[in-house]
A and B are shown apart, each in its own frame.
Chain A
């Protein structure tokens, strides 16, 4: 069965600092991987996705993520965070766009930004 682990519940960084949010997945084949962001009081918005090909994917708002099959990881990065990046971030895995595909989410990482 698919599963997703986000080992950090909370992360605090200073504005302008770099950011890395960790995500590990469990799935037998090549998964489809996603990062979503949820700002306070808002719905979930897709940041980026990986299906195949280049293992470094670019997303919106200056985010990127790297798929590492050997480590079963899909970590999210941003070189310089802004106060508006304070939100909760969710990693998700799907089995590959099949008809009966289900999408499993991690427990989330809440990002706090220090001024």
Chain B
């Protein structure tokens, strides 16, 4: 089975902190994604990557950056966390466009 692992299930950070969300997949997938999930808004794509060191902006990239130094790892970075970034963050990897999701990280910015 494909396994996508997000480093934390719950995080609480202070406004202005730099926040790292880590995601690792074990199936050698080329494509990886970061989404945020908010009630009534569904899953919105923040960034995705189709290869090491390659990244593409999604629909809501503002306030976020990403890093993909190794194929299996895709990190989401909040350079200066703000309260409006409180959300559930979902990482996924894909094969033939089918996405496999991690369990999510619920981030609260206070």
Residue with the greatest number of chain A CB neighbours at <10 A, chosen from B41, B51, B101, B102: B101
Q: Which of A43, A104, A107 contacts B40 (CB under 8 A)?
A: A107
Closest residue of chain A to B96 (Cβ to Cβ) is A97
Pairwise interchain contact A102-B48, C-beta atoms closer than 8 A: yes
Give 23 pairs: A residue, B residue, CB < 8 Å, sorted on A: A6-B42, A32-B96, A34-B97, A36-B99, A43-B90, A43-B102, A44-B90, A44-B99, A44-B101, A46-B99, A49-B98, A51-B96, A90-B43, A92-B99, A94-B97, A95-B97, A97-B96, A101-B94, A101-B97, A102-B48, A103-B99, A105-B44, A108-B42
Given contacts A32-B97, A103-B94, 6 further A-B contacts (CB under 8 A): A9-B40, A92-B99, A97-B96, A99-B30, A100-B56, A104-B45
Q: Chain B: residues with CB nearer than 8 A to chain A?
A: 30-31, 33, 35, 40-45, 48, 50-51, 56, 58-59, 90, 92, 94, 96-99, 101-104
